[in-house]
């Protein structure tokens, strides 16, 4: 997965691997459940999605349109597998994520991920995000407002006839009603957990990990995390945890100061979002 080949001296391997636990599908929370039917036109199978700006209104999970008037070939867009449910825009109402397959009469089979956002009981499809041509889908799921898609692809330079064997993951989030890829650099991980910001505390406890890590001072996204924490937690007692989804890299804890008491550090690179009131599930 995305942490392959990353090593940080002095950082405990078990803690590092656990940073990914929450968002790599090992949690029973917000599992990949099928969205309950709400009547014709109100399910992901009958929503309208956009691909390259063109609308595709699905009817029971499929639509066929002419590539251009009078053309012999047609474009077919259909659902692959079942939609999954989860709150993607943090309004407390279940949305849906879908995997779409587009064929145009040629050799390509193009896969896209899209969301259907619940707007007062009506599902509004987003612009679809292209994943690849003739990939092998593995899992579509929603965890804490993050849409995750695992699949296999071909190695660089391999011909399209080669069976996909390279494991890949995409992480996406809804921002301003659009589904956007969470871009991760080499060695960057995505993790969910509880953040505490205070006079003597700057900690992050990833779900599934018993010990908190120190948010190191040179973290590019630390100012954003601090502002978000103080804004959301202005009316609660000091040192109350706030649930956040972050991306970053494991790091050494400081050698002096308050951070020296922590077993490891975390260099936060992105604040994906905050989820007030959310808590980590219990792990065995």
Q: What is the mean predicted confidence (pLDDT) over 188-208? A: 93
Rounded to two decimals, what is the model's pTM? Answer: 0.83
Q: Is residue 131 part of a domain?
A: yes
d(CA 169, CA 3) in angstroms, rounded, equals 11
Residues 50 and 172 in one domain: yes
Per the rule left: phi > 0, alpha: psi between -120 and 50, beta: everything else, 233 is alpha
CA–CA gap between residue 168 and residue 146 (Å, rounded): 16
The Cα 171–Cα 199 span in angstroms is: 33
Q: Rounded to 10 degrees, what is the CA torsion of 87, 89, 95, 97?
A: -100
Q: Which of 160, 181, 202 is the last residue of a domain?
A: 181
Rounded CA-CA distance 202/214 in Å is 6
* Section 197-211 average pLDDT: 92
For 131, the 3-state DSSP assignment is: strand
109 with 141, same domain: the answer is yes
What CATH number does the domain containing 254 carry?
2.40.50
10 falls in which pLDDT band (50, 70, 90)? very low
| Domain termination residue (choose one: 181, 203, 221) | 181
Residue 3 lies in a domain: no
177 band by pLDDT with thresholds 50, 70 and 90: confident
Segments forming the whole domain that contains residue 204: 13-26+186-274
Give yes or no for a contact between 86 and 149, defined as CB atoms under 8 angstroms apart. no
Domain match, 177 and 190 both: no
Considering the domain boundaries, does residue 104 fall inside one? yes
**Cβ atoms within 10 Å, residue 269:** 19
Q: Are 129 and 119 in contact (CB under 8 A)?
A: no
Same domain for 200 and 169: no
Within this chain, do residues 56 and 156 fall inside the same structural domain, yes or no? yes
- DSSP string across 74-130: EEEEEE-S--EEE-SSSSSS-EEEEEEEEE-SSS--EEEEEEEEEETTEEEE-BPEE
Cα angle 98-102-107, degrees, rounded to a multiple of 5: 145
> Residue 282 falls within a domain, yes or no?
no
Contact between 112 and 129 (Cβ < 8 Å)? yes
pLDDT, residue 208, reads 84
Number of domains in the chain: 2
- State residue 280's pLDDT score: 80
Residues 85 and 201 in one domain: no
The reply to whether 218 and 123 lie within a common domain is no
Partnered with residue 66 across adjacent β-strands are 74
User: Is 32 a domain residue?
Assistant: no
- Rounded Cα gap, residues 228 and 222, in angstroms: 10
What residues have CB less than 8 Å from 60, skipping those under 6 apart? 45, 46
Q: What are phi and psi of 200, to 5 degrees?
A: -115, 5
* Residues 214 and 239 reside in one and the same domain: yes
**73/173 same-domain check:** yes
Sequence-distant (≥ 6) Cβ neighbours of residue 32 within 8 angstroms: 84, 139, 140, 141, 142
pLDDT digit string, tens, across residues 13-68: 344 444 444 444 333 333 333 344 344 447 999 999 999 999 999 999 999 998 77
Q: Which residue has the higher pLDDT, 210 or 33?
A: 210
Residues 119, 210: one domain?
A: no
The fraction of the chain above a pLDDT of 70, given in percent, is: 84
Q: Are residues 248 and 159 in the same domain?
A: no
Instruction: Please report the pLDDT score of residue 282 as a whole number.
Output: 54
Within a domain: 63: yes
- pLDDT tens for 213-266 read 999 999 999 999 999 999 999 999 999 999 999 999 999 999 999 999 999 999
Same domain, 139 and 259: no
Q: Interior CA angle at 111 toward 107 and 114, to 5°?
A: 150
Which residue among 181, 206, 221 closes a domain?
181
**Is 35 inside any structural domain?**
no
163 part of a folded domain: yes
The per-residue pLDDT for 20 is 46
C-alpha span between 265 and 222 (Å, rounded): 13
């Amino acid at each position: 997965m995305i942490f392959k080949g990353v090593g940080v001296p002095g950082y405990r391997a078990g803690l590092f691997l656990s940073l990914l636990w929450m968002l790599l599908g090992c949690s029973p929370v917000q599992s990949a459940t099928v969205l309950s039917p709400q009547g014709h036109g109100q399910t992901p199978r009958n929503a309208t999605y956009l691909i390259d700006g063109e609308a595709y209104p699905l009817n029971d999970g499929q639509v066929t349109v002419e590539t251009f008037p009078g053309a012999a070939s047609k474009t077919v867009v259909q659902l692959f597998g079942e939609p999954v449910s989860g709150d993607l825009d943090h309004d407390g109402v279940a949305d849906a994520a879908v995997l779409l397959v587009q064929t145009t009469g040629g050799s390509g089979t193009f896969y896209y991920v899209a969301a259907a956002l619940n707007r007062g009981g009506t599902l509004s499809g987003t612009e679809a995000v292209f994943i690849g041509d003739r990939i092998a889908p593995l899992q579509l799921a929603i965890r804490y407002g993050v849409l995750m898609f695992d699949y296999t692809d071909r190695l660089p330079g391999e011909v399209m006839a080669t069976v996909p064997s390279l494991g890949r993951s995409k992480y996406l989030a809804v921002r301003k009603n659009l589904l956007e890829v969470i871009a991760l650099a080499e060695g960057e991980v995505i993790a969910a957990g509880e953040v505490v910001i205070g006079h003597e505390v700057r900690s992050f406890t990833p779900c599934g990990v018993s010990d908190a890590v120190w948010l190191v001072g040179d973290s590019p996204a630390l100012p954003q995390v601090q502002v978000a924490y103080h804004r959301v937690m202005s009316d609660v007692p000091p040192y109350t945890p706030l649930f956040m989804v972050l991306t970053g890299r494991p790091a050494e804890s400081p050698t002096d100061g308050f951070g020296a008491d922590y077993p490891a550090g975390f260099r936060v690179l992105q604040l994906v979002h905050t989820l007030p009131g959310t808590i980590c599930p219990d792990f065995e």
